[in-house]
Amino acid sequence: MKAEIITIGDEILLGQVVDTNSAWIGQLLDSLHISIQQIVSIPDHKDLIYHTLSEASRRSDLIIVTGGLGPTKDDVTKETIASFFNTTLVKDEKVLEHVKSIFEKFGNGRAMPLMNYGQADVLACSEVLFNDVGTAPGMWVEHEGKFFVFLPGVPFEMKFLMENRVVPKLATYRAKEAIYHAHVITMGIGESFLAEKIADIEDELPSHIRLAYLPKLGGVRLRLSAVGTDFESIKKETEQFAERIGKRLSDHLVARKDVTIEEAIVEEFTRTGLRLAVAESCTGGLLAGSITSIPGASAIFDCGIVAYHNRIKEQVLGVQEEVLRDYGAVSEQTVIQMAEGVKKMSGAQYSIATSGIAGPGGGTVEKPVGTVWIAVSGRFKTITQVFQFRNDRQINIERSIAQALNMLWKLYRQDSVES
Amino acid sequence: MKAEIITIGDEILLGQVVDTNSAWIGQLLDSLHISIQQIVSIPDHKDLIYHTLSEASRRSDLIIVTGGLGPTKDDVTKETIASFFNTTLVKDEKVLEHVKSIFEKFGNGRAMPLMNYGQADVLACSEVLFNDVGTAPGMWVEHEGKFFVFLPGVPFEMKFLMENRVVPKLATYRAKEAIYHAHVITMGIGESFLAEKIADIEDELPSHIRLAYLPKLGGVRLRLSAVGTDFESIKKETEQFAERIGKRLSDHLVARKDVTIEEAIVEEFTRTGLRLAVAESCTGGLLAGSITSIPGASAIFDCGIVAYHNRIKEQVLGVQEEVLRDYGAVSEQTVIQMAEGVKKMSGAQYSIATSGIAGPGGGTVEKPVGTVWIAVSGRFKTITQVFQFRNDRQINIERSIAQALNMLWKLYRQDSVES
């Protein structure tokens, strides 16, 4: 089954929101072995919606449309799709009751705005996908042998409807073509060096298995994708190739499945009963957040101190006044004391400390914007590294986090060999 | 000038990476008054690349293509685009020297992989956009009256090339049609109530000014977009409407420009010399990170404590053992002591504390997953609120942050009236 995603809304084209819905749907469909041909974002314009729907239905079997179902006047989607399917809009009583009940609950006694009545209008030819978590219902339409799904753009409503309404319906129309993905997650080696190391294995790959390099800050994720008729046989074949590649890259291997380094750390630390604490300056809480975002993180994450100012570095982390005075907050000596300080005050075996000048302000000739010191303290020693990133605050923070996690992973692996 | 963005790469269709490039480019082009017609993501496939390029060049004047320029074998872009423009690939000596120099610097003495030589291959008909920050050069092609820009997909390389190479070139081809956007950022009022409140103003809008509702967690962002020939006159007209809408919504107004609530907080606190500290449990550092990501945050952010475990809540924040024992970590009493504790230990006038069960584990009958207590402590009082979110960890964290910032903004505004 071939699928396609259409996202409707000016706000995406203007860059005011990042389209995270499509990536989420992409992962979900991929896990169902449904391949996505195309993702397209278009504005709230009648003609473009019509044209895009008709193009998509020529190419694909399943068309998922998100956005354009809100109550306000910028939404022209429903009328346009009604005309596309040559049908009308009808009031759905169950949806209307639901919309009313939400307003009774959250409206603070105010009457429901008239335009919300329109949210109960659905395509006469559609099956309503009842939205328990919001006011805009989803719709499922079968038209000329193709499936169309219309969902609100609010991410958690879209996710609710995909998981609880769309996936169960799709299960009844399973694709005949099987797809299998195997993963080799690496860090600390560049894309082209990595490719040279495994060139001979790559050359052996049969035409129905493709290898993709997905570079990310700090590492490269390899994905082997196979298509075939028999799921079990392509799975076995693909995993054999992935296993060989993983062995070849063992010095840089993080995992043999599709996980992030954050997930790998949480999993490994949970398995081995280790705990982590962090002391952050330039990463401002986001290093802690990268770990605490992972389900189950509370088993391994102890505490984090965002010490933006020297007083906290001294008071809470025990960094010496003389060290801050003589070397400055952005220095090897300071990050060592921060890392060792937070480890000591917590119950953690491992700790990370960051201190740097994220920018855009705060740079000096000696320590320009992008200078970041990182220390990782483990069971046997404390390691440090200095980085010189560039000018963008957001990127400097992201790269600092990626490097900090890479350093942690490396030290953890060394320690595991030693212990 | 009409523009279109094409993103090439299987990883986006599989949802392994979120396409943040397009939103970034969208904002940049919007600021140049260039409107984006469509954003499309396609796989690394010859036919689809060819087809998409030719469709885009029918519709738009400027086509920006990102991705598909890496050194490894999954990249078929260059050959396909060469055939699209009916041209050949030639080796660019300056690029080759640059690629070699990067490998000398970062290759740890290893020879440059052969495939990296290919990165110096550029379209014979193109102007090379020299990439100071990476190995893949960008390319600028003028073809049948249209402009094509090819950029690597790595975000910071793409951004570097857009800002330093593409924008200066575009400046020489300015659009004749002017676009202007005005903004009204609100919080604490739902989309449809808001729409009812301003329905009469909206009805007065002339056809060349469109009003868009952009709901976000915790608030609605309104954008008025005008098109016309005279920039100054549409600017004046649009700002007048925006001003009226802003006044009508004054109880819920965050700002009259396109900022996030985080940016508004940093700006206001900087202006008034106030400082903020946070004590986080369920938000795990990301509440601190939402503020520290904003340039200039160091002027207002004091410190953050990520107190995942009770020991830290007691030791560092001074939460009483009895409170944790009698009411639990997720309770009004605990968040009050966390907020007041972090305020006291820091030099801040305002503080926020969060404690909740983000999930997926850790819920009980009394305190199910999604239960979150938030306290905000200010110059005159401490306020609290409990929320009952749903099951998804990521969403619960995001909503907690949005609500916490809303509470802070509200208290700050009340306090400002009182003081």
Cβ–Cβ under 8 Å, residues B184 and B197? no
Rounded CA separation B19/B30 (Å):
18
Hey, is the C-beta of A255 within 8 angstroms of any chain B C-beta?
no
The full set of domain ranges for chain A reads: 2-171, 178-255, 261-418
Residue A286 has a pLDDT of: 98
pLDDT tens digits along B296-326: 999 999 999 999 989 999 999 999 999 999 9
Average pLDDT over residues A200-211: 92
ipTM over 0.85: no
Average pLDDT over residues A339-362: 94
Rounded CA separation A338/A317 (Å):
6
pLDDT tens digits along A372-390: 999 999 999 999 999 998 7
In angstroms, what CA-CA distances link A373 with A301, A346, B32, B157, B416?
A: 22, 22, 37, 23, 39
In angstroms, what CA-CA distances link A378 with A412, A414, B189?
A: 7, 10, 48
Residue B75 has a pLDDT of: 65
Residues of B with CB below 8 A from A38's CB? 13, 40-42, 48
- The helix, strand and coil proportions of chain A, stated in percent and rounded to the nearest 5, come to 45, 25, 30
Superfamily of chain region A2-171: MoaB/Mog-like domain (3.40.980.10)
Rounded to the nearest 10 degrees, what angle do helices A393-418 and A261-272 cross at?
A: 30
pLDDT at position A176 over 70: no
Helix (H), strand (E) at residue B38? strand B35-42
pLDDT tens digits along B327-358: 999 999 999 999 999 999 998 999 999 999 99
pLDDT at position B143 over 70: yes
Instruction: Identify the three-state secondary structure at position A392.
Output: coil
Q: Which of A239-253, A357-371, B101-115 has the highest mean pLDDT?
A: A239-253
Identify which of B18, B291, B362 has the shortest CB distance to residue A20.
Answer: B18
CATH class for the domain made up of B178-255: alpha beta
Determine what percent of chain A is predicted with pLDDT higher than 70.
97
How many other CB atoms sit within 10 Å of the CB of residue A142? 12
Hey, is the C-beta of B393 within 8 angstroms of any chain A C-beta?
yes
Summary mean pLDDT of chain B: 91
Average pLDDT over residues A397-402: 93
Asked whether the beta carbons of residue B12 and residue A308 sit closer than 8 angstroms, the reply is: no
Hey, is the C-beta of B240 within 8 angstroms of any chain A C-beta?
no
CA B111 to chain centre: 39
Listed in sequence order, the residues at least 6 apart from B171 whose beta carbon sits closer than 8 Å to its beta carbon are: none
DSSP state of A128: E
The answer to whether the B2-171 and B178-255 domains have the same CATH topology is no
CATH class for the domain made up of B261-418: alpha beta
pLDDT tens digits along B48-95: 999 999 999 999 999 999 998 877 655 688 999 999 999 999 999 999
Asked whether the beta carbons of residue A191 and residue B70 sit closer than 8 angstroms, the reply is: yes
Q: Structure pTM?
A: 0.80
pLDDT at position B270 over 70: yes
Instruction: Identify the three-state secondary structure at position A357.
Output: coil
Average pLDDT over residues A275-298: 97
Instruction: Identify the three-state secondary structure at position A92.
Output: coil
Hey, is the C-beta of B44 within 8 angstroms of any chain A C-beta?
yes
Interface test with A, best of B20, B156, B197, B342 (most A CBs within 10 A): B156
Q: Which of residues 155 through 214 in chain B touch A, CB cutoff 8 A?
A: 155-156, 159, 181, 190-193, 195-196, 202, 210-214
Instruction: Identify the three-state secondary structure at position A224.
Output: strand
How many other CB atoms sit within 10 Å of the CB of residue A122? 21
pLDDT tens digits along A93-121: 999 999 888 888 766 677 788 888 888 99
pLDDT at position B192 over 60: yes
User: Could you tell me the pLDDT band of residue B175, with boundaries at 50, 70 and 90?
Assistant: low
User: Could you tell me the pLDDT band of residue A151, with boundaries at 50, 70 and 90?
Assistant: very high
